[in-house]
Amino acid sequence: MSFLLLLLFSCIQLFGLVPALPFSSYDYGGIDRSTILKRQLPPSPYVVTGVHAGAGLNGSLPLRLEVRELEQDPTTWTLYILGLDMLQYTNQTEMLSWYQITGLPLLLISHSSIDSSPGIHGRPFTPFDNVQPVPGNINNGYCTHVSILFPPWHRPYLAFYEQILYNLIQRIAQLYPTGPIRDMYTTAAANFRIPYWDWAAIPAAGASVFPTSVGGSPYVVVDGPLGSQEIANPLWSYQFKPLVPSDLPDFPLNQYTQTLRYPTTKNSFAQSQNNLVAQQLDNSAPSLRRRLYNVLTTYHSYRYFSNEAWFNASNNPNGYDSIESIHDQIHGLTGSGGHMSYIDYSAFDPVFWLHHAMLDRCFAMWQILNPGSYVVPTAATYNTFNNYAGETQNVNTALTPFYKDSFGNYWTSAEAYNTTTFGYAYAETASSSVTGVVAAINTLYGPQAQPTASSKAFETRESDLIPDAGTNTTEWIANIRVKRFALNVPFFIYIFLGIFNEDPASWSFDPNLVGSQFITVKGLSAIMDSPCNKCDPDQMVSGTIPLTHALLQHISVGNLKSLAPKDVNPYLAQNLSYRITLSDDTPINNSDVASLKISIACANVQTPASSTELPTWDDMEGQMDVSTG
Ligand SMILES: *[C@@H]1O[C@H](CO)[C@@H](O)[C@H](O)[C@H]1NC(C)=O
Ligand SMILES: *[C@@H]1O[C@H](CO)[C@@H](O)[C@H](O)[C@H]1NC(C)=O
Ligand SMILES: *[C@@H]1O[C@H](CO)[C@@H](O)[C@H](O)[C@H]1NC(C)=O
Ligand SMILES: *[C@@H]1O[C@H](CO)[C@@H](O)[C@H](O)[C@H]1NC(C)=O
Ligand SMILES: *[C@@H]1O[C@H](CO)[C@@H](O)[C@H](O)[C@H]1NC(C)=O
Ligand SMILES: *[C@@H]1O[C@H](CO)[C@@H](O)[C@H](O)[C@H]1NC(C)=O
Ligand SMILES: *[C@@H]1O[C@H](CO)[C@@H](O)[C@H](O)[C@H]1NC(C)=O
Ligand SMILES: [Cu+2]
């Protein structure tokens, strides 16, 4: 046995780590998997339709369910796991493989380098399904961020993924023994829709916000057509087959043979620390829930709701947050230096799809509450594969590379307006009832939302803090505005109330953390001239960290008298502080991010008198600036 192997084994013994196996996929025995997959050869163009089959209760559209709810249905869950396994197993040279679908934002960027160095791959890559870049924009993905198109672009992207997974699942169901068992799987397969992960709702007693199906174990036992087998958990990671470092050229991502979350190291021995991901999500859960609640209930302009670009005009203190900004924070907390931390690499991680389905659901709920507000012509802040920065994007801008028909027409935001167009709904949106959506938002995310039973993550933070229904209260927020490329790499901004541990690695777990904001960049510099490739390097992005829940705690222990500005302002001036780290916990001096402006604002808010009413916010009043940027 070589020295290296010995070392490896002793490491395993020491740390109890599971060795990184190449992969273990479901073994279909005599059935040649390539014949199952061959029949999937894509027509070109590949038309994104979503799934138009199956029926939910009373003949309504099948619903996309919360991932923990889907897990309660073992038949559908089995098919879901086997479908993911099959998709991840599909040869990454195939267009309809996990690698190419999820790598779509990234792979296009690197095609230019692959083309110029033939031999790395058996064949030169072409842009996905032959959708060509506009001249000069080869070094950009299709994905639209800091853009008015952020929510609708991801809708056909998810429908595309759902459609491919659905097709695989139909084939897998047919592999079960004929008779009642196959019938059961066939019925479940016809109703399959992708699940979402609700990172804002209060989880069941003792459970983490982070589902155990996603972060609990690298292996999973699945009851497939040939019986029970232990396979690699396709929600834990995607294993590159193989890793092609030139496709993923940014260090340390060019070292990682599988997708990682909060990686232990920056070399190929790195392991995911899903336990730490779960802990930091739980510590930030009250903040995330309030952010989502505030954005869903008090943002009525699509322009501000949809994306994080800071418009000069939005000096309105109640216009800094957005669904995209909250989205970034989940990327930051699930990545912590792993794939989710880098937008262009993030979709390789299976959790990306659960997260984006959640965002699509929030978008769908918001649409029902705000039917009059949608995409308005807005200048793009970044180049994408098909659009130039500065070019106006509108409701008819093509959402490339997603074909709507076989004549080469693309989906547009106008056409992607309604989820029913793609054959699905969410429980909250199925009946398009405004009061139904309001009630769901209040119950799940509102001030009266309760844990199903007292759960560890929340009992210490939220007891006795629930305001009475139908009364006036004061909401306090910290608005953040910063140059996205302030550091050219992603970073976190943490806000604390009171003392906190000196160690930057502990900040996201600190009991006095009020909340944090992750600032993303698309990729790193290896594949672009700079992370901001031909974009405006001074582009400002913004977000909001709610403060009220933390202030109420300080009131409940007797340190702070009330939520009135005369009490809160001096309290914050003395006790509120902020810190900055990179996504791997490296601390950054506050003075090194000169563009960062943090300002405090508050508003009188009438809490809903019943679960079918929204809160009413009076105008925000600016208070002090913590940092003047
Ligand atoms: C289905 O119909 C039954 C009987 O009319 C009704 O009680 C139930 O609420 C319906 N379910 C849904 C999801 O609409
Ligand atoms: C994937 O496909 C390529 C090209 O057809 C082939 O060379 C390679 O061996 C395949 N990989 C696997 C793991 O089957
Ligand atoms: C942007 O802000 C500056 C300074 O506050 C102001 O002079 C200018 O008119 C604003 N422009 C727009 C488009 O709102
Ligand atoms: C989507 O279409 C369905 C069916 O036509 C309709 O009932 C529903 O109101 C639409 N939803 C929105 C948000 O417009
Ligand atoms: C609550 O706030 C509203 C709106 O500002 C105001 O009209 C009302 O008088 C307030 N009610 C109480 C009891 O203070
Ligand atoms: C800062 O916090 C401490 C402890 O919570 C409190 O005693 C003190 O009064 C606060 N400072 C101000 C100015 O309120
Ligand atoms: C932060 O700034 C101080 C004073 O300017 C300097 O001594 C220190 O090295 C800086 N720390 C980092 C991590 O840059
Ligand atoms: Cu994302």
Question: Per residue in 434-475, pLDDT tens?
Answer: 999 999 999 999 887 765 433 334 444 444 456 677 788 999
Tell me the ligand closest to 472's alpha carbon.
5
367 token code pair: 């649409």
Q: Is the CB of 606 under 6 A from ligand 5?
A: yes
Q: For residues 150 and 10, what is the distance between their CA atoms, to the nearest angstrom? A: 48
| pLDDT of amino acid 180 | 96
By C-alpha distance, which of 256, 324, 328 is closest to 515? 328
| pLDDT of amino acid 388 | 58
Q: Which residue's C-alpha comes closest to atom 7 of ligand 2? A: 122
**Among the residues of 45-178, which ranges form H helices?**
67-70, 74-89, 98-102, 104-115, 150-173
Does pLDDT of 183 surpass 60?
yes
Q: Is the CB of 5 under 6 A from ligand 3?
A: no
Q: Are 81 and 70 in contact (CB under 8 A)?
A: no
Range with lowest mean pLDDT among 50-54, 360-364, 379-383: 379-383
By C-alpha distance, which of 321, 333, 269 is closest to 295? 321
Distance 241 CA to ligand 2 centre (A): 10
Average pLDDT score over the chain: 83
3-state SS of 233-249 is CCCCCCECCCCCCCCCC
Residues whose beta carbon lies within 6 Å of some atom of ligand 1 = 57-58
Distance 346 CA to ligand 8 centre (A): 7
What angle is formed at CA 166 by the lines to CA 148 and CA 164, rounded to 5 degrees? 60
620 token code pair: 């925000």
3-state SS of 34-62 is HHHHHCCCCCCCCECCCCCCCCCHHHCCC
Q: Which residue's C-alpha comes closest to atom 13 of ligand 5? A: 472
Does pLDDT of 14 surpass 60?
no
Q: Which of 582, 589, 591 to mutate to test the pocket of ligand 7 (most atoms within 8 A of CB)?
A: 589
Tell me the ligand closest to 616's alpha carbon.
5
Q: Which residue's C-alpha comes closest to atom 10 of ligand 3? A: 312
| pLDDT of amino acid 475 | 93
Distance 433 CA to ligand 1 centre (A): 15
607 token code pair: 């809490």
Q: Which of 575, 576, 624 to mutate to test the pocket of ligand 6 (most atoms within 8 A of CB)?
A: 575
Write the pLDDT tens digit of every residue in 394-407: 899 988 888 999 88
Whole-prediction pTM value?
Answer: 0.88
Distance 548 CA to ligand 3 centre (A): 30
Q: What is the DSSP letter of 473?
A: E
Q: Is the CB of 122 under 6 A from ligand 2?
A: yes
Distance 281 CA to ligand 8 centre (A): 16
Q: Is the CB of 312 under 6 A from ligand 3?
A: yes
Q: For residues 617 and 507, what is the distance between their CA atoms, to the nearest angstrom? A: 31
Closest atom of ligand 2 relative to the 241 alpha carbon: 13
Residues whose beta carbon lies within 6 Å of some atom of ligand 4 = 367-368, 418, 420, 432
Average pLDDT over residues 106-110: 49
Tell me the ligand closest to 59's alpha carbon.
1
CA dist 261 → 7, 272, 339, 346, 414 (Å): 24, 5, 7, 10, 36
Q: Are 194 and 159 in contact (CB under 8 A)?
A: no
Distance 465 CA to ligand 8 centre (A): 32
Distance 64 CA to ligand 6 centre (A): 47
Does pLDDT of 111 surpass 70?
no
